[in-house]
Amino acid sequence: MTADFRHFYQKSWAERTAIVADYSALTPAETARFKTYYLPQHSEIIENYLTDYPLPMGLAVNFVIDDQPRIIPMVTEEPSVIAAASNGAKIVKRAGGFHTTVTRREMIGQIVLEQLTEPAKTAALIEQHAADLLVVADDAHPSLKRRGGGAKQLRVRQLGQGYLSVDLFVDVQAAMGANMLNTMLEAVAKSIGVLTKTNALMSILSNYATASLATATCELPVALLQAGRYSGALVAQKMAAASTVAQLDPYRAATHNKGIMNGIDAVAIATGNDWRALESGAHAYAARDGQYRGLSTWTTDGKTLTGQLTLPLPVGVVGGSIKINDVAQLNHKLLGQPTAPTLARIIAATGLAQNLAALRALVTTGIQQGHMHLQLKSLAMAAGATPAELPTILQQLEQAPHQDLTTTQQLIAALRQ
């Protein structure tokens, strides 16, 4: 434990891996893993880079979105996600596919002022100078305006206790826009400082991207939902009930939304987008009226089941790591090189497909039947089954009274005897 991590960021990759190997007593085989997924260009993206971390990437199929067939690359480690998305999309395809809309696409940033004795007066002063401040914002990143975007609106909100938020709305064009917006905000904050003789507490974009909303909808004849002994009408009615519960109960809503984000994050990661930004925005939006609720709703009139999902989706097709990541580039091509609003539409539809499949399973056979079938593979591999052993072990596990690690290890040991 004598390894020296001082100036670790200045070390070469070889030096860094040697230090870690020494510190963590790694075997040569373990140290060699760093090399397996090492991509030299990625050491330019993050500090103290060691290696890439492999996550499975697959393709969700059966999607028709706004009358266009789509294949959707997804990155996820959860076994049932891609199967569920494809399954949900297959049902919706039979009813004509998803339909989507997007609002104007602007990112919102905040300049927070503090310790104001007369916040109303300060707010009025800033509002009087809004036009000039928008020019300051555009001058800080002029290429956005040249591309047809740029600063659009200034809004001032009194937060109470002497705090004020100056919200800057910016059309960030094809990018997610966080860095560009932050540059603009810092410039505007300086001008506000001169104008109001105060120093801003902070200047940073808000991930509560209420000016970048995307909506996906689908309308399904209930007959399409029939599952085993459950009639389509009964499934529709139970799915609508499940949707109501997610509106009433935050415990259920969190899980309902996690299922939606299973799809959304997987496409966000595959396309080089910031999924933490989408997560925080989605959950803030889910609590927009003061109670955390399900992001999607399902209603039925007995003949049709109607699903709708709306959430902030401030995604980009340029910027961040998108152009640096070869696989993200490839995935944009698989998606047909969408514009940023089209990517948001695709992602919203993926979230709704995911939610449809999850709710339908939950209110009929239960989630475990389909889910565990796929989870068992992960369990068998975690227990050490080789690809050749997998079919036998899976078959035995399906029948086993306990589907746990110990049982799986015992089955593998028995098979090898």
Q: Select the residue interacting with ligand NDP from 277, 352, 376, 412 (CB under 6 A).
A: 277
Strands annotated E in 206-303: 213-221, 296-300
Residue among 268 and 383 whose Cβ is closer to ligand NDP: 268
CA–CA separation, 17 vs 19, rounded Å? 5
Bridge partners of 163, per DSSP, are 160
If one asks whether residue 320 binds ligand NDP (CB under 6 A), the answer comes out as yes
Q: Select the residue interacting with ligand NDP from 74, 151, 178, 218 (CB under 6 A).
A: 178
Q: Select the residue interacting with ligand NDP from 60, 64, 166, 205 (CB under 6 A).
A: 205
- Let me know if 256 is a catalytic residue: no
- Let me know if 398 is a catalytic residue: no
Task: Retrieve residue 208's tokens.
Answer: 């509560």
Residue among 274 and 397 whose Cβ is closer to ligand NDP: 274
If one asks whether residue 176 binds ligand NDP (CB under 6 A), the answer comes out as yes
Nearest approach, Cβ of 314 to ligand NDP (angstroms)?
Answer: 8
328 Cβ neighbours under 8 A, 6+ residues apart: 270, 271, 272, 321, 322
Q: Which stretch binds ligand NDP (CB under 6 A): 63-71, 94-102, 168-176, 225-233?
A: 168-176
If one asks whether residue 175 binds ligand NDP (CB under 6 A), the answer comes out as yes
Residue among 232 and 316 whose Cβ is closer to ligand NDP: 316
Q: Quick one: which of 256, 378, 306 has its CA closest to 96?
A: 306
Residue among 144 and 156 whose Cβ is closer to ligand NDP: 144
If one asks whether residue 349 binds ligand NDP (CB under 6 A), the answer comes out as no
Reported for 125-131, long-range contacts at CB under 8 A and 24+ positions apart, including other chains, are: 125/195, 125/196, 126/154, 126/156, 126/164, 126/166, 126/192, 126/195, 126/196, 127/154, 127/156, 129/195, 130/154
If one asks whether residue 177 binds ligand NDP (CB under 6 A), the answer comes out as yes
- Let me know if 332 is a catalytic residue: no
Task: Retrieve residue 211's tokens.
Answer: 């000016």
If one asks whether residue 341 binds ligand NDP (CB under 6 A), the answer comes out as no
Q: Are strands 107-113 and 296-300 parallel, antiparallel or unpaired?
A: unpaired
If one asks whether residue 108 binds ligand NDP (CB under 6 A), the answer comes out as no
Q: Quick one: which of 360, 230, 236, 362 has its CA closest to 302?
A: 236
CA angle 291, 294, 296 (to 5 degrees): 140
Phi-psi category of residue 164: left, alpha or beta, with phi > 0 → left and psi -120 to 50 → alpha: beta
Nearest approach, Cβ of 70 to ligand NDP (angstroms)?
Answer: 22
- Let me know if 99 is a catalytic residue: no
If one asks whether residue 383 binds ligand NDP (CB under 6 A), the answer comes out as no
Nearest approach, Cβ of 261 to ligand NDP (angstroms)?
Answer: 16
Q: Select the residue interacting with ligand NDP from 97, 263, 294, 319 (CB under 6 A).
A: 319
Q: Select the residue interacting with ligand NDP from 17, 62, 76, 173 (CB under 6 A).
A: 173
Give the number of other CB atoms < 10 A from CB of residue 258.
Answer: 13
If one asks whether residue 355 binds ligand NDP (CB under 6 A), the answer comes out as no
Residue among 202 and 415 whose Cβ is closer to ligand NDP: 202
Judged by CB under 6 A, the number of residues near ligand NDP is: 20
Nearest approach, Cβ of 216 to ligand NDP (angstroms)?
Answer: 23
Q: Quick one: which of 121, 112, 91 has its CA closest to 218?
A: 91
CA–CA separation, 93 vs 221, rounded Å? 12
Nearest approach, Cβ of 106 to ligand NDP (angstroms)?
Answer: 13
CA–CA separation, 399 vs 202, rounded Å? 59
If one asks whether residue 316 binds ligand NDP (CB under 6 A), the answer comes out as yes
If one asks whether residue 274 binds ligand NDP (CB under 6 A), the answer comes out as yes
Q: Are strands 150-160 and 163-171 parallel, antiparallel or unpaired?
A: antiparallel
Listing DSSP states for 282-295 in one string gives: HHHHHTTTSS---S
Nearest approach, Cβ of 138 to ligand NDP (angstroms)?
Answer: 12
Listing DSSP states for 72-89 in one string gives: EEEE-S-TTHHHHHHHHH
User: Of these residues, 106, 138, 171, 274, which one is catalytic?
Assistant: 274
Phi, psi of 9, deg, nearest 5:
-65, -20
If one asks whether residue 180 binds ligand NDP (CB under 6 A), the answer comes out as yes
If one asks whether residue 107 binds ligand NDP (CB under 6 A), the answer comes out as no
User: Of these residues, 35, 121, 258, 323, which one is catalytic?
Assistant: 258
Residue among 279 and 389 whose Cβ is closer to ligand NDP: 279
8 Å CB contact between 172 and 114: no
Active-site residue list:
78, 258, 274, 371
**Which residues of this chain interact with ligand NDP, rule CB under 6 A?**
143-144, 147, 173-180, 205, 207, 274, 277, 316, 318-321
